[in-house]
Amino acid sequence: MKFDFYLFDLDGTLLDLGNMGTHADHILVQTLQKLNVDKIPNRTKRRELWSSGGKFQKVLSRWGINESKKFWKFYDKTDFEIRKILLKKKEILLFEDVKIVLELIRNHKANKKLAICSNTADYIVDFFLKYFKINNIFHEIFSMGGANQECAKPSPKGILTILEKFDFDPQNETAIMIGDSIHDVLAAHKAKISSCLIDRQKENETRIYKQWKIQPDYVIQRLQELIDL
Ligand SMILES: [Mg+2]
């Protein structure tokens, strides 16, 4: 456990929502329908939104959506509605090793700090952290709220905001971002901290990580392995 600061992605990393890509796409389609978009773009085109980084407005405009704020508000609302249904059906869970590992880091004698850096809406993040009783484990939380959508990973903005609050000294301290997607790895790379990809096998996206231009510094299959890094 050599790092001083541990930054975690939430969805797909701590929270098990099944197939994340399918989950996000399902919400996207419902949101586009609610916004009366004439022609719903196909799956390949829809993927462009997730890789657009801060340029999501360009993609939305192509789909005939000019008010991105309204779009994200609808998206988050739909996301929350779907998650609450999934939760009732016990289809959203914490991965089983999450609590143990987070507590081990939190209780470490070297006073390590933990944070969440998530692309999900702030009220949804808060709801799930509280629901699973892990909210008190984290010293800082960076999530999406109001007008900061352009700070979503792969932008390093969230990571940098957290590290600034921690008074991070890159000369003498180390930080790691742990996540399940390319966006987490890219954001960490841009923020010049270590990245750790959690590849829990069943998730499609992470299986293709070997083709990524920017490689994660570490790849683990269970969160428990983080303790040995
Ligand atoms: Mg994720």
pLDDT in tens, 150-161: 889 999 999 999
Query: Cα(99)–Cα(176) distance, rounded to whole angstroms?
Result: 18
Residue 226 has pLDDT above 90, yes or no: yes
Residue 79 has pLDDT above 60, yes or no: yes
Find the range with the poorest average confidence among 55-64, 147-156, 196-205. Answer: 196-205
Give the residue from 56, 28, 13, 76 showing the smallest Cα distance to 152. 56
Alpha carbon of 90 to ligand 1 centroid (Å): 19
Instruction: Please report the pLDDT score of residue 194 as a whole number.
Output: 98
Architecture of domain 5-16+93-228: 3-Layer(aba) Sandwich (3.40)
What mean pLDDT value characterizes the chain?
92
Instruction: Please report the pLDDT score of residue 202 as a whole number.
Output: 57
Instruction: Please report the pLDDT score of residue 54 as a whole number.
Output: 72
pLDDT in tens, 105-129: 999 999 999 999 999 999 999 999 9
- Return the H-helix or E-strand segment holding 141: strand 140-144
Alpha carbon of 85 to ligand 1 centroid (Å): 20
**Global pTM exceeds 0.75:** yes
Alpha carbon of 103 to ligand 1 centroid (Å): 20
Alpha carbon of 2 to ligand 1 centroid (Å): 23
> What number is the average pLDDT over the span 179-192?
96
Name the more confident of 197 and 206: 197
Alpha carbon of 15 to ligand 1 centroid (Å): 8
Alpha carbon of 212 to ligand 1 centroid (Å): 16
Query: Cα(68)–Cα(61) distance, rounded to whole angstroms?
Result: 9
Residue 94: Cβ within 10 Å count: 16
Residue 201: partners with Cβ closer than 8 Å, 6 or more residues away: 207, 221
Alpha carbon of 37 to ligand 1 centroid (Å): 27
> What number is the average pLDDT over the span 151-177?
96
Alpha carbon of 198 to ligand 1 centroid (Å): 9
Instruction: Please report the pLDDT score of residue 143 as a whole number.
Output: 95
Residue 203 has pLDDT above 80, yes or no: no
pLDDT category at 40 given cuts 50, 70, 90 is very high
Alpha carbon of 56 to ligand 1 centroid (Å): 18
> What number is the average pLDDT over the span 187-200?
96
Instruction: Please report the pLDDT score of residue 207 as a whole number.
Output: 66
